[in-house]
């Protein structure tokens, strides 16, 4: 397990609020993913950070702003969200298996976001 923590566990916000989600891992994994998951759907990729640099942005609206201040921390800043943005937001570091080119992905517990 990668011992990934995400805070807060639950967040309720209005459409005019500014809030941030936080993801921390202390296993030294250098690639981290943000996913959004709606009910009864699989996770949907939002962003990928590799070595603290944004490497993939899956056409996510600018009201979501990711930030990677260091290799252990990933933030997702939220502003002017819409009710349809209500979902489970998951952070997932990638672990590279030693001596191979294989990666494994482990998910944090997620933040359940409700936008009113």
Partner 1 sequence: RKEVEQDPGPFNVPEGATVAFNCTYSNSASQSFFWYRQDCRKEPKLLMSVYSSGNEDGRFTAQLNRASQYISLLIRDSKLSDSATYLCVVNPYGQNFVFGPGTRLSVLP
**Based on CB atoms, which residue is closest to partner 1, 65 or 106?**
106
CB count in 10 Å sphere of residue 77: 13
Q: Does 88 bind partner 1 (CB under 8 A)?
A: yes
Binding marks (x or -) toward partner 1, 64..83, rule CB under 8 A? --------------------
Cα–Cα distance between 21 and 91 in angstroms, integer? 10
| CB-facing half-sphere around the CA of 12: CA atoms within 13 A | 1
- Which residues of the shown chain bind partner 1 in the complex (CB under 8 A)? 33, 40-43, 45, 48, 56, 88, 90, 100-110, 112
């Amino acid at each position: 397990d990668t011992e990934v923590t995400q805070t807060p566990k639950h967040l309720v916000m209005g459409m005019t609020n500014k809030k941030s989600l936080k993801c921390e891992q202390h296993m030294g994994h250098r690639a981290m993913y943000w996913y959004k998951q709606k009910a009864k759907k699989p996770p949907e990729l939002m962003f990928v950070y590799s070595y603290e640099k944004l490497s993939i942005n899956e056409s996510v609206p600018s009201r979501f702003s990711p930030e990677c201040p260091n290799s252990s921390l990933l933030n997702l800043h939220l502003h002017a969200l819409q009710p349809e943005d209500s979902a489970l937001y998951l952070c997932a570091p990638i672990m590279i298996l030693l001596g191979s080119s294989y990666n494994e992905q482990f998910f944090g517990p997620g933040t359940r976001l409700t936008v009113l």
